[in-house]
Amino acid sequence: MKSTTPVSMDALLSRPEIKRIVDRVSPEEEERRTYAPPRCKAFARPVTILKETNEYSFFKDLEAKAKLPHIIDNPVQTIVGVTNPDQTQLDHYTRELRIGIVFSGGPAPGGHNVIAGLFDAMKKANPNSTLYGFFLGPDGVIEGQYIEITEPIINRYRNMGGFSMIRTGRTKIDSSAKTKQARETCLKLKLNALVIVGGDDSNTNAAFLAEELYKDGIQVIGVPKTIDGDIQVRDSQGKILCAMSFGYHTAARSFARNIGGLCVDSSSDVKYWHICKVMGRVASHLALEVALQTHANLTLIGEDLADYVDEERLAKAKAEGTTDYSAYGMTLRHLSRMICDAIIRRAKVGKNYGVIVIPEGVLEYINEIQLIITKLNTIIADYNHTHDKDFHTAFTTLESKLEYLRRLVRGIGPDISPALWNARDDELFNDMPEFFQKGLLLERDSHGNFQFSQVETDHVIMRMVKDYLNIQKEKGLYSLGVERSYFNSMLEREGLDPAIYGPIMFENYPDGEYLRIKNTIMSMKTLKQAFSRSGKLDPEAGLPSAIEKIYKKSVPKFKTQTHFFGYDGRGGDPTRFDCDYTYNLGQTVFSLVVNGATGQMAAIKNLEQEFPKWEPIGIPIAPLMRLEERAGRMTLVIEKSLVDLESNAFRVSKALREKWLAATPENDDYRSPGPIRFTGKSEEERPITLMLNSI
């Protein structure tokens, strides 16, 4: 036998074709990095200026007026390109600037392009200007941890997802000590401006910092980031200024692509219900977009559930001359019934499979849960305000936390407000499964938000669904429809006449395309009894095997697979829409900074329309603020935008609900959105939600 000397590993690894194959940079990444997003018209001019517009009005909160006096009266500013600037304009525009940028909150695809857009604009105006990136979120500003962003650094991250260049964090600059340190960092770096790329809470923080740093002449600009899509700005007359935060499109497309795959799997293997929880801490925008992208069989929209009115109960109460206030809003019990109803209806036409989309924050819209969350928020915050150790350090186990709550019911302890937690709350809470109790008692995030991503919402709901389905099964109400042609052919194969056996077993033989076992037949035993009574069964011979087989097929097994979509999508590479959007946000930031704005949020108007109609603007942040309960206290924050039940997007999805549920013998209506492709024509230009709402 001939022996060959193997090529050494070093030699193998140094071969160019192997190097190329295992290179860290994939061909897709290479292509992405070279993509140059188009710029809004104004940015193609040598200089941009800001124009105030009185077209928009806002209701200003009294508290915001008092706390943010220097920025509360900021106007909306449009960014206008100047074709032939005079020397003064040029000198002003091209002066050397020092800007710091920080990510705050969860990652959202496109963040790197905000930095790239800002970097390109400032270097084009003056190559000596400096851009600093603060590490690990607001902590980087507080602790003075930063890096100077240079061309080679930024080039590695152009059009790429994540926030990995400078990373992110959730610290809130909320105390005078933290504000002082942040101010010192800005002064030490001689910053002209600090840019905060974040969600509603982080933009709120940006406004407060703008106010704090006003006298130092340091400008603060916010950028609307969050996959949740809940930063949408309208003025008091409903005119849209910012249709969507960045990152939403990519996250929704990424979830939809995977959920589309599950739709195909479930209708191929026909044995699973795929339960898909999708991110979105409070608002259900992501779930709505996923529904429109995939046509999953059932998508819950939190805002819709909250709007639910039990007309039957209302009518009953009215007949008794009373009003039943508990008829307004959805309970967990009712929600599980609603889901069961959909599952049972599909089973009747032989479909014991499907896909359900559950928004992560759906429990926020369920009456009894919302109440418990608010109460626990207050209890934990009260405890933290009055004790040295915080609640979660003082009570590390579930049992010790529960004991504290029990003490509240018993009214023990000087620091305790018994009215807040009563015997009824305790009873309700104790009825919940342990994992859910733990979830509800979890530590709140730095902004006082309940951390829905840590709670197994889907398990809570599906546990109730399973229990109720079992009850319905025992009553013979949850059974699987048997296709008539299948029944006929199986019986004929055994030489039996379907016309004789069909009417004994099924309630709708021979008319139904899908035959339903009679409610009275709940087991093999009752099936035999039905046949014996009809005189069609020879007691010696037992049931014909075809009948037994058909019966077994009609008994559904409810099998689920649960999936969570969130972190995968928010870490994905941005869609072209998000690439273009964020690059132009970065350019907008520069125009706002160079023209002296502060307390403004960079935004792009007309996002819902084609690119040539996009208009860069600055939106005043302070007038967007409202008082909200956070960590048990009323706090000024930017109001979250929830799904508008009057919007085209929601109304269309509602109108198509029955079609997507497909509880008919016809095929399912699943839509395959396909992957996020950077090239080619497969991807739509912008979120379907936006497209529908723009009509």
Residue 630 binding ligand FBP, by CB under 6 A: no
Backbone angles phi, psi at 328, to 5 degrees: -95, 130
- Residue 228 annotated to the active site: yes
- H/E stretch holding 11 reads helix 9-13
- Decide the pairing of beta strands 354-359 and 273-278: parallel
**To the nearest whole angstrom, how small is the minimum distance from the Cβ of residue 591 to ligand FBP?**
24
According to DSSP, the residues that pair with 276 across neighbouring strands are 357, 563
**To the nearest whole angstrom, how small is the minimum distance from the Cβ of residue 381 to ligand FBP?**
19
> What's the CA gap between 692 and 307, in Å, rounded?
22
Which of 137, 138, 161, 199 is the binder for ligand FBP (CB under 6 A)? 199
**To the nearest whole angstrom, how small is the minimum distance from the Cβ of residue 586 to ligand FBP?**
18
Closest to ligand FBP by CB, 221 vs 227, is: 227
Residue 204 binding ligand FBP, by CB under 6 A: no
Nearest Cα residue to 558 out of 414, 629, 462: 462
From the candidates 200, 228, 230, 382, give the one annotated as an active-site residue.
228
Closest to ligand FBP by CB, 39 vs 570, is: 570
> What's the CA gap between 434 and 214, in Å, rounded?
49
Residue 183 binding ligand FBP, by CB under 6 A: no
Judged by CB under 6 A, the chain residues 300 through 359 that form the site for ligand FBP are none
Judged by CB under 6 A, the chain residues 632 through 691 that form the site for ligand FBP are none
Residue 106 binding ligand FBP, by CB under 6 A: yes
Distance of CA 662 to the CA centre of its chain: 25
**To the nearest whole angstrom, how small is the minimum distance from the Cβ of residue 390 to ligand FBP?**
18
Which of 116, 206, 218, 227 is the binder for ligand FBP (CB under 6 A)? 227
**To the nearest whole angstrom, how small is the minimum distance from the Cβ of residue 106 to ligand FBP?**
3
Closest to ligand FBP by CB, 482 vs 603, is: 603
Closest to ligand FBP by CB, 227 vs 358, is: 227
Q: Torsion angle of alpha carbons 201, 203, 205, 211, nearest 10°? A: -150
> What's the CA gap between 146 and 101, in Å, rounded?
9
> What's the CA gap between 434 and 429, in Å, rounded?
9
Which of 75, 81, 85, 105 is the binder for ligand FBP (CB under 6 A)? 105
**To the nearest whole angstrom, how small is the minimum distance from the Cβ of residue 45 to ligand FBP?**
33
Spell out, one character per residue from 73 to 92, where the chain touches ligand FBP: x when CB under 6 A holds, - when not: --------------------
Residue 360 binding ligand FBP, by CB under 6 A: yes
Amino acid 619 reads: I
Contact at 8 Å (CB) between 294 and 287? no
Residue 279 binding ligand FBP, by CB under 6 A: yes
**To the nearest whole angstrom, how small is the minimum distance from the Cβ of residue 363 to ligand FBP?**
12
Closest to ligand FBP by CB, 543 vs 603, is: 603
Residue showing the smallest CB distance to ligand FBP in the complex: 105
Closest to ligand FBP by CB, 197 vs 330, is: 197
Judged by CB under 6 A, the chain residues 9 through 48 that form the site for ligand FBP are none
Judged by CB under 6 A, the chain residues 414 through 473 that form the site for ligand FBP are 452-453
Contact at 8 Å (CB) between 515 and 506? yes
**To the nearest whole angstrom, how small is the minimum distance from the Cβ of residue 442 to ligand FBP?**
11
Closest to ligand FBP by CB, 282 vs 597, is: 282
Neighbour tally for 140: CB within 10 Å: 26
**Stretch of 52-60, 68-76, 134-142, 278-286 contacting ligand FBP, by CB under 6 A:** 278-286
Nearest Cα residue to 81 out of 580, 582, 587: 587
What's the Cα-to-Cα distance from 498 to each of 142, 502, 507, 590, 665, rounded to whole Å? 79, 5, 14, 77, 21
User: What is the 3-class SS of 335-382, one letter each residue?
Assistant: HHHHHHHHHHHHHHCCCCCEEEEEECCHHHHEHHHHHHHHHHHHHHHH
Contact at 8 Å (CB) between 224 and 589? no
Closest to ligand FBP by CB, 171 vs 226, is: 226
Residue 280 binding ligand FBP, by CB under 6 A: yes
Closest to ligand FBP by CB, 226 vs 588, is: 226
Residue 226 binding ligand FBP, by CB under 6 A: yes
Q: Which residue has the tokens 């690894």?
A: 13
**To the nearest whole angstrom, how small is the minimum distance from the Cβ of residue 508 to ligand FBP?**
45
Q: Which residues of 401-424 are buried (b: 16+ CB within 10 A; e: fewer)?
A: bbebbeebbeeeeeebeeebbeee
The long-range contacts involving 530-535, CB below 8 angstroms and separated by at least 24 positions, are 530/504, 530/505, 531/504, 534/504
Beta strand ranges found along 451-565 (DSSP E): 482-483, 514-515, 560-565
**To the nearest whole angstrom, how small is the minimum distance from the Cβ of residue 204 to ligand FBP?**
12
Residue 277 binding ligand FBP, by CB under 6 A: no
* Binding residues with ligand FBP: total (CB under 6 A): 14
**Structure-block tokens of residue 517:** 């076992």
**To the nearest whole angstrom, how small is the minimum distance from the Cβ of residue 226 to ligand FBP?**
3
Contact at 8 Å (CB) between 62 and 620? no
Query: Order of strands, edge to edge, in the sheet holding 560-565?
Result: 298-299, 354-359, 273-278, 560-565
Closest to ligand FBP by CB, 254 vs 472, is: 254
Spell out, one character per residue from 120 to 159, where the chain touches ligand FBP: x when CB under 6 A holds, - when not: ----------------------------------------
Judged by CB under 6 A, the chain residues 525 through 584 that form the site for ligand FBP are 570
**To the nearest whole angstrom, how small is the minimum distance from the Cβ of residue 281 to ligand FBP?**
4
Closest to ligand FBP by CB, 77 vs 226, is: 226
Q: Torsion angle of alpha carbons 411, 415, 419, 424, nearest 10°? A: -60
**To the nearest whole angstrom, how small is the minimum distance from the Cβ of residue 674 to ligand FBP?**
23
Q: Is 37 left (phi over 0), alpha (psi -120 to 50) or beta?
A: beta
Residue 285 binding ligand FBP, by CB under 6 A: no
Closest to ligand FBP by CB, 108 vs 305, is: 108
Closest to ligand FBP by CB, 281 vs 375, is: 281
Q: Is 192 left (phi over 0), alpha (psi -120 to 50) or beta?
A: alpha
Which of 172, 183, 281, 295 is the binder for ligand FBP (CB under 6 A)? 281
Nearest Cα residue to 354 out of 283, 269, 435, 425: 269
> What's the CA gap between 618 and 589, in Å, rounded?
8
DSSP-based three-state secondary structure for 432: coil
Residues lying near ligand FBP in the complex (CB under 6 A) are found at 105-106, 108, 199, 226-228, 279-281, 360, 452-453, 570
- Return the active site residues: 228
